[in-house]
Every structure is written in C-alpha cells, then in structure tokens.
A = this chain, B = another copy of it.
Amino acid sequence: MDNGLLVVISGPSGAGKGTLCKRLKSEMKDLKVSVSATTRKPREGEVEGESYFFINEDEFIKKINNDEFLEYACVYGNYYGTPKKEVFKQLEDGNDIILEIDIQGALQVKKNYPIGVFIFILPPSLNELQNRIEGRGTDTKEVILKRMQCAYDELDYAFEYDYVVLNDQVETAVQKIQCIINAEKNRAIRKKAIINKIREV
C-alpha cells in the first residue's frame, strides 16, 4: 500500500488557512488531522488526545532534545509541537494528513519531511489581508501594521513551497487543493510499488 500524504497548508496570518482546512476536512472524509502537543493548560471542553496532547514543560523539552517533533514553537510562553510518532504512524497506515501551520513551522516540517506536499495560501491582495485581520477585531493598530509588514516579507517564502494557491474565493481554492492532493498521489516518486507489481504480473 502507498504511504499517505502529509499535506501542509501554510501562509501568512489572515490568508484564510483555517477556513480552507475546515472545508477540506469536511469534503475529504479520509483526511486525518494531526494532533499537536502543548504545554498550555486545557481549556473547557478540550479533550486530551483530540484537541491536543497536554504535557508539561519538562516533558516537552525532553521531546525537543530527543528530536521527537516535526516542528515546534513557543508562543506567548507556551510550547506547541507536532509529534513525529503520531504523524508517521498515520502516513505508514496509508492515511493522508493535513497540517495547518505558520510559515516558520512549515519550513521546519520541510526540513524533517521533504516529501510532504507544501501549499502556500496567498491572500488576494495585501489590502484584502489587512481587511481580514482588521475584521477579526482582535488586534491593535500597531499589531496590524506589524503583521502587514510581516506578510509582505513572508511572501518571499512562497517559493520554498511546492504549490501556491490564491485564496480569492474559498470554493475555488478548496477545489484547487483537492486537485493538488489527487495529482500528488500520481507522483513518480510515490509509484515504486505499482511498477514492481506490473512487472510481476
């Protein structure tokens, strides 16, 4: 059986990664979601092993030192990371996994698992990106300005990815990503097994 695909959905804050991933998960029922580990305390309703693996800081740092993460980051004093073990087990079982992640995280994943499928989500324009970030109403003017500068710089990283998908219309972007996932299943690098099988028959 073919290994599953690790599909990394990434891009600047405000590009619409979250919405796209939600839609993809509901349309592609077989797509598994990777569960992150974190040192943050569980919030109400969060379930161990579903929302996150909740572990303490000592454990987390031990795992970092043992190279057990595909990627990790420290955000506002809490660690978050994607455990290799869980992800690799799913891939070996032939399941496709989707991972929604920021650019720094995606570049770490690429280093650890270069045969993943790396998709950069583009906002339709920087103006639109600003509207979206402002629309959330969660950030101060200074933070928004900083985010915009950051987004401008981050566009350079698009060329480190395999694909760039413009998210001007959610429907179209979801279709494009579905198409990319299906196309990637036919990549020559993933087809050794079938060619050997044809030779046998």
Contacts and interface: CB of A to CB of B under 8 A. Distances in A.
A96 to B, nearest CB: 15
Contact of A122 (B124, B152, B198): B198
A123 interface: yes
Given A122-B194, A126-B201, A183 B163 contact: yes
Number of identical monomers bound together in the oligomeric complex: 2
A176 interface: yes
Interface string A165-189: 1100000000010011011101111
A184 B124 CA distance: 19
A159 interface: yes
Given A194-B166, A195-B158, A176 B186 contact: yes
A127 B183 CA distance: 27
B163 A199 contact: no
A133 interface: no
A188 B152 contact: no
A64 interface: no
A129 B191 CA distance: 19
A183 B194 contact: no
Given A122-B195, A159-B192, A164-B186, 7 more contacts: A120-B188, A125-B201, A152-B199, A158-B188, A162-B187, A165-B186, A180-B183
11 contacts: A120-B188, A125-B201, A126-B199, A155-B195, A155-B198, A159-B192, A161-B188, A164-B195, A180-B183, A180-B186, A183-B184
